[in-house]
Amino acid sequence: MLKQCDSNIRMHANYTNDGSAIRII
C-alpha cells in the first residue's frame, strides 16, 4: 500500500486516523 507520509499521495488522497486513504480529488 502507499505510505501516508508520501507528499505526492497527500496531494491526491486524504488519510484518516485508521490509515484509510480517502480520495479528495
For the segment 1-25, what is each residue's pLDDT rounded down to a tens digit?
A: 555 556 655 555 566 666 666 665 4
Which run of H or of E encompasses 13? strand 13-15
The whole domain housing 10 covers 1-25
For residue 3, give Cα distances in angstroms to 15, 20: 10, 11
pLDDT of the residue at 1: 52
For residue 13, give Cα distances in angstroms to 1, 18: 13, 14
Q: Give the chain's domain count.
A: 1
pTM of the predicted model, to two decimals?
A: 0.16
